[in-house]
Amino acid sequence: MHGGNTKTNEDGTTPFQLLTSRSFGYFQKRSADTANADAWLNGRQQKLEQVLSDAEPETPATWQEALAAKTGVSLKFVRKLEGALPSAPWPSVKAIDWAIWVLDQFDPNEEDFDAFFRPESLEKIFGRAYKNQKDLEAKRTVALAGIREILLDWFDRKTLLEMDTTISGFIVKNEAPVKRATKSDGMAKFARRFSNRFASEISFVMSALAQLVTEIELATGTDLAPMPGFLPQLVRFGFPTPYHFAVSRELSTSARIEVQKQYEGISKYIEHDPSDDWDAVRTKVTNAMSLSLFTEISDDDIKALEELFKKDNDSD
């Protein structure tokens, strides 16, 4: 048991040290090194006390500060993202354009990257390409490059096996000299980890952008393009555009490749517009699906229908 106050306070509240010592982060650190874990715990408490002593209770937190607290990134990063918004790909409805732009806002030299992407998750996806890097900056740099490369496949009609080949190839290029190079196991291990878990972590990054845009709209009374609001779901499921997401809702499936296949059949009837909100997107997809049913009827089908109608009229 570590030192410090571990009993419930007289007012019924739980002390900081007791709460934090129950956290998963503390458990991991204590499993590795008890002394370092307790030092970490004391450091967190001192930092919290400093923040509380410096705070001015009468001054409410700004939305930037609230967003930083909610996501775990620094206030500096939130303001950086806000300042970079004019350079965002506003004319685009392609998720890959937006996702890459968001990733480009991270500086591998800063810790904000770690608030969104857990090192243990990155190691499961990129293996020795991540683990064998010399320092944190190098690890973040290779992770960003790897995420960008996987997203290209994720938004394309690539199977998990094809994605796994891409990831394995990336690992081989970046794992440094090893006795036996990494190979795909034929079971799409790396790609499945990405699909089942890591895509959600990237989606969380995109939700930070969506929240930031919403706050700016509320603060300024303006309506920005709806695309940031779509982005978390598009990244989570691998849908290239909001129109793909609408197709998935029509089909009641989130199967990435099936949705993309169905979308291709109606894409010529859909005009992309970055100002389309969810109602507009859904209406365009519904209309396109209806229109495609009529265009699939051949001349022979039309003649057969005409003959049928003629016979019905004659019988009357």
What sign does the CA torsion over 161, 231, 198, 175 have?
positive
Local structure of residue 178 (DSSP, 8 states): -
**pLDDT at residue 4 tops 60:** no
- Which residues are CB-contacts of 86 (< 8 A; sequence separation ≥ 6)? none
What whole-number distance in Å separates Cα of residue 44 and Cα of residue 65?
Answer: 19
Do residues 80 and 68 make contact, with C-beta atoms less than 8 angstroms apart?
A: no
Tokens of 152: 């290209």
Number of H helices, E strands in the chain: 17, 0
Stated as kind and residue range, the H or E segment containing 153 is: helix 136-154
What whole-number distance in Å separates Cα of residue 59 and Cα of residue 308?
Answer: 78
What proportions of the chain, in percent to the nearest 5, are helix, strand and coil? 70, 0, 30
- Which residues are CB-contacts of 15 (< 8 A; sequence separation ≥ 6)? 4, 5, 6, 7, 8, 9
Task: Locate the domains of the chain by residue range.
Answer: 16-55, 74-228, 239-309
* pLDDT for the residue 12: 45
Going from the C-alpha of 98 to that of each of 87, 159, 211, 249, 270, the distances in angstroms are 11, 22, 15, 22, 20
The model carries a pTM of 0.74
Mean pLDDT, residues 171-187 = 83
Do residues 243 and 284 make contact, with C-beta atoms less than 8 angstroms apart?
A: yes
Q: Long-range contact list for 264-269, CB < 8 A, 24+ apart? A: 265/292, 266/291, 266/292, 267/243
Residue 65: CB atoms within 10 Å: 12
CA angle 252, 254, 258 (to 5 degrees): 95
**Percent of the chain scored above 90 by pLDDT?**
64
pLDDT confidence band for 8 (50 / 70 / 90): very low
Cα end-to-end distance, the chain, whole Å: 93
* pLDDT for the residue 50: 63
> What is the residue-averaged pLDDT of the chain?
84
* pLDDT for the residue 246: 97
- Each residue of 99-109: pLDDT tens digit? 999 999 999 99
- Each residue of 23-34: pLDDT tens digit? 455 455 566 667
Min mean pLDDT across 16-30, 59-73, 171-185, 288-302 is at: 16-30
Tokens of 43: 């450091």
Local structure of residue 196 (DSSP, 8 states): I
**pLDDT at residue 6 tops 50:** no
- Which residues are CB-contacts of 115 (< 8 A; sequence separation ≥ 6)? 71, 72, 73
Identify the residue whose tokens are 């980890």.
Answer: 193
Give the closest residue to 5 by CA, choosing from 44, 51, 16, 23: 16
Going from the C-alpha of 37 to that of each of 8, 19, 111, 117, the distances in angstroms are 21, 14, 20, 22
Mean pLDDT, residues 259-283 = 95
